[in-house]
Amino acid sequence: NVIRLLKMLTFLPLEEIEQYSTLEGSKLNKAKEILAYELTKQVHGEEAAIKAREAAKALFGSGNNHENMPSTELSQTDLQDGQITILELLVKCGLASSRGEGRRLVEQGGVRVNDVKVSSFSKTFSANVLAKGFILKKGKKVYHKVSLK
């Protein structure tokens, strides 16, 4: 229960917390955001809490606001025969130090493209797909925007 946690773990005034107790469903997410911010501020400091909030907005907020997300812009010279493999892409983006590490990530189910799991390390991306751009995800927390110049 978010309200109970706000009361126990934050220093917010009880009157302010009570305002959130009437919220339901997706409107309760505002209280969850406040809880996350307040706890991060207590543990890591206000600067880290602000950075975490901005990163969360960039990743999960409305629209395609990916300004704060790390990105790689590939050129035609990065492609072989007009395409690039997932392993080469992971290395170029710095998400894997080698093709071998990239292979292990894919085999363990730790790579997603636009939230679709990559199940084969022989997966390739054409220039047309790269030109539209996509989000490459490693594990649960590492996001990377990929596009073609």
For residues 73 and 148, is the Cβ–Cβ distance under 8 A? yes
**Helices 29-44/46-60 angle, 10° precision:** 140
Q: Which residue among 37, 60, 83 closes a domain?
A: 60
pLDDT surpasses 60 at 121: yes
Identify whether residues 47 and 113 lie together within a single domain: no
CATH number of the domain to which 119 belongs:
3.10.290.10
Is pTM beyond 0.85? Reply is: no
Identify whether residues 113 and 77 lie together within a single domain: yes
Identify whether residues 13 and 76 lie together within a single domain: no
In tens, the pLDDT along 137-146 reads 999 888 899 9
Identify whether residues 80 and 142 lie together within a single domain: yes
Identify whether residues 85 and 130 lie together within a single domain: yes
pLDDT of residue 61: 63
Stretch 104-124: mean pLDDT: 95
Identify whether residues 44 and 80 lie together within a single domain: no
pLDDT of residue 109: 96
Strand duo 71-74 + 142-148: pairing = parallel
**What's the chain's average pLDDT?**
90
Stretch 26-42: mean pLDDT: 92
Q: Which residue among 11, 31, 60 closes a domain?
A: 60
pLDDT surpasses 80 at 57: no
**Does some domain include residue 143?**
yes
Share of the chain above pLDDT 90, in %: 72
Structural domain including 116 reads 71-148
Identify whether residues 89 and 120 lie together within a single domain: yes
CA gap 79, 93 in Å, rounded: 14
Cα distances from 1 to residues 29, 60, 68, 93, in angstroms, run: 12, 22, 31, 39
pLDDT surpasses 80 at 7: yes
Identify whether residues 79 and 133 lie together within a single domain: yes
pLDDT surpasses 80 at 62: no
Identify whether residues 33 and 92 lie together within a single domain: no
Q: Domain tally for the chain?
A: 2
pLDDT surpasses 90 at 64: no
| Tokens encoding 121 | 């390390």
Q: DSSP labels for 94-106?
A: TS-SSHHHHHHHH
Burial state string for 127-139 with b = 16 or more CB within 10 A and e = fewer than 16: eeebeeebbbbbe
Q: How many CA atoms lie within 13 A of 106 on its CB side?
A: 23
